[in-house]
Every structure is written in C-alpha cells, then in structure tokens.
Amino acid sequence: MDQAEKLRDMMKMQTKEKKLQARIITVTSGKGGVGKSSISVNLALEFKKQGKKVIIFDADFGLANIEVMIGAIPKYNLADLIYKGKELKDIIVNGPMDIGFISGGSGISSLSNMSKDQVLYLVYKLRELENLADIIIIDTGAGISDTVLEFVSKSSEILLVATPEPTSITDSYALLKALNSRKDFDNTDSVIKVVANRVVSRDEGDNLYNKLSVVVNKFLDVNMEYLGMIPVDTNMSMAVMQQKPITLAYPNSQASKSIEQLASKLLDIEISEDEKKNGIAAMFAKMFKGKKGGV
Ligand SMILES: Nc1ncnc2c1ncn2[C@@H]1O[C@H](COP(=O)(O)OP(=O)(O)OP(=O)(O)O)[C@@H](O)[C@H]1O
Ligand SMILES: [Mg+2]
C-alpha cells in the first residue's frame, strides 16, 4: 500500500466518525485595508463570548496583521504542518479569550505546488479542526488574486467587506464579477453577506449596499444580502495601537456594539450540515480537485 492509499484509508475512517462540521465564514473584500482582519478578530471574540469555539485562519500570506492585532505570534504556520511534520496543535496559537489562530504563512503560496500525497495529508490533518472549532473564520488577503478567489469560491458563507469610497464599491463589484465567472463557483451554494464598514450613518451603509446591489443584480448571478454596518470609530485605531481588539479594549464603543450585533445576527442564522459544504477539509480537497495535487 503506498502512502496515498494509506492516507485515503485513514480518511475513510475519519469520515465514518461523522463529526459535526465547523461553520466556515470567509472574510474578503475587493479593495485592501477596508477592515477584514479587524472584523475577523472581533467577530471571533463575539462568537466566543456567545459560547462558540472559534479558530481564525489567516489566509493572507503577506502582512502578519492578525498577529499584531491579537498580540500572539505563532511559531509555526501551515507550511510547517505540510512540509515539516508539525501537528495541528503546534500551528494553533491561542489569542485573547482563547480564540485559536492559524497562520497560513508561506504555506498559502505553496499550496498550488503540493503533490497529491501532501494534499491528502493536509486534508487529513485539517479534519481534526472540526473537533476544535464550531466556527472557522478565514481572513483572506486584499484584492482579487487567484488565492483569494480559491478560498472564496469554495466557501458557502462569504462576508464581503466594503467601505463607502467609490473605489471600494467598484472593487467589490470586480471581485464578485471575477467570482461569478469562475467555473468552480456555484451561486446556489454560496451566500455573500455584505458588511458596510467605516460608515458615518446607518443610511450610508444602506446606500452602499443599494449601490452595489443595483449593479450586481443587473449584471451578475450571485446570491447577495446585506448583513449590516459598522460605523467609523476612532476607538478602532486606539485599540490597534494598544494591540488589543476593539471589542475587548472598548466593548462599549459604537463599532464594538455593531460588531456584536453582526455576530448575533450571524449566529441566529441556522446553517444546516449540508450547507457547511462538508467543512474545512472538504473545502481544501475541492481546492485541489483537477489540479496537480488533486485528490
Ligand atoms: N470601523 C472602523 N473605524 C475606524 N477605523 C477602522 C474601522 N475598521 C477598520 N479600521 C482601521 O482600518 C485599518 C485597516 O483595517 P484592517 O487591517 O482590518 O483591514 P484589512 O482589510 O484586513 O486590510 P488588508 O487588506 O491590508 O489585510 C486599520 O488601521 C483599522 O484600525
Ligand atoms: Mg487584513
């Protein structure tokens, strides 16, 4: 029996255990710097406050911004799990309130070069995550790169963060257009939930969503809805300077209250096991289907 066959057998055993799948929420945006990482971290904390086990997966191999935000520097990243024999527990660091954090690091850029055995191994290992988390938040990098689209197109729940600047709206549209044109994106399987960040009023958030939905409904075939807004709040930058997430540093600030509401709204949505697209391992397996290391 070769290595790949052994792994396949082990995976079959895992599947038989019939674990509950974690809910995966992928946070993305057309334009960079609109608040994805801030929202990922603070939503994670709110979910945790509401009794959920949460892991944030940083799929942005560029800047290590979540690490700075939560003040926890991981020793190892996804590449160490794939290539250096590290265990899942070695690459998870605990942030504030014990939310878990995994850095994709250089593992993200090397994903496309993995062999079949490596992909199988990764998928096998990631299944363990289902025991450790009720919700996995994937924070993607900025812009419309292939890596970002890979993650987004395989996610059933997508949070699209936009700000009121005209460029953010056009960039959001460009991201949705790129997503819509991908063969591996199934609009009946995925819901895009828009978060309007850094708005000065509720109306400004509504307007942002309306502007975007007019063009999206006219030209694209995607399933989009409005989740809500987060106001522009100077406490956000003050929290960043203290290297503390705003919901911990300033829980009564307007932005924190809004994030709390968004988290409750997300938790109120019932997600069936079916809608979870079989969890994180299946998501990665799908990413490699038909590719070099495809399984
Ligand atoms: N509601 C808000 N009010 C004020 N400042 C905000 C708000 N949301 C985010 N910011 C600030 O905007 C900056 C960018 O935020 P963040 O790093 O979360 O964005 P990002 O989308 O993850 O960026 P990147 O694309 O570089 O990963 C940070 O300095 C953050 O403090
Ligand atoms: Mg970021």
For ligand 1, whether the C-beta of 163 sits within 6 Å is no
* Candidate CATH numbers 3.30.56.10, 3.40.630.30, 3.40.710.10, 3.40.50.300; the one for domain 21-282: 3.40.50.300
Rounded Cα–Cα distance for residues 131 and 146 (Å): 29
Rounded Cα–Cα distance for residues 283 and 251 (Å): 34
Distance 60 CA to ligand 2 centre (A): 7
**Between residues 130 and 109, which one has the greater pLDDT?**
130
Distance 176 CA to ligand 2 centre (A): 19
Burial level of 22, CB count in 10 A (0-12/13-18/19+)? buried
Rounded Cα–Cα distance for residues 71 and 91 (Å): 16
Distance 74 CA to ligand 2 centre (A): 16
Q: Whose CA is nearest to atom 15 of ligand 1?
A: 35
| pLDDT the model gives residue 63 | 64
Asked if 34 and 197 touch (Cβ cutoff 8 Å), the reply is: yes
226-238 pLDDT, tens digit each: 999 999 999 999 9
pTM above 0.75, yes or no: yes
For ligand 1, whether the C-beta of 113 sits within 6 Å is no
For ligand 1, whether the C-beta of 237 sits within 6 Å is yes
For ligand 1, whether the C-beta of 23 sits within 6 Å is no
Ligand 2 ion local residues (Cβ < 5 A):
36-37, 65
For ligand 1, whether the C-beta of 30 sits within 6 Å is no
Nearest alpha carbon to residue 265 among 236, 226, 231, 224: 226
Distances (CA, A) of 106 to 3, 81, 88: 24, 11, 16
Helices (runs of H) and strands (runs of E) counted in the chain = 15, 8
Distance 162 CA to ligand 1 centre (A): 11
Mean pLDDT, range 238-264, rounded to an integer: 95
Bridge partner list, 137: 25, 56
Rounded Cα–Cα distance for residues 52 and 72 (Å): 20
| pLDDT the model gives residue 260 | 97
Distance 288 CA to ligand 2 centre (A): 24
For ligand 1, whether the C-beta of 260 sits within 6 Å is no
Q: To test ligand 1's pocket by mutation, which of 26, 38, 159 has the most ligand atoms within 8 angstroms of CB?
A: 38
Lowest-confidence segment of 53-57, 79-83, 170-174, 287-291 by average pLDDT: 287-291
For ligand 1, whether the C-beta of 66 sits within 6 Å is no
Asked if 210 and 240 touch (Cβ cutoff 8 Å), the reply is: no
Lowest-confidence segment of 153-162, 196-205, 284-293 by average pLDDT: 284-293
161-179 pLDDT, tens digit each: 999 999 999 999 999 999 9
Sheet of strand 23-28, all strands in order from the earlier edge strand to the far edge: 92-94, 100-103, 54-58, 135-139, 23-28, 157-162, 191-199, 224-231
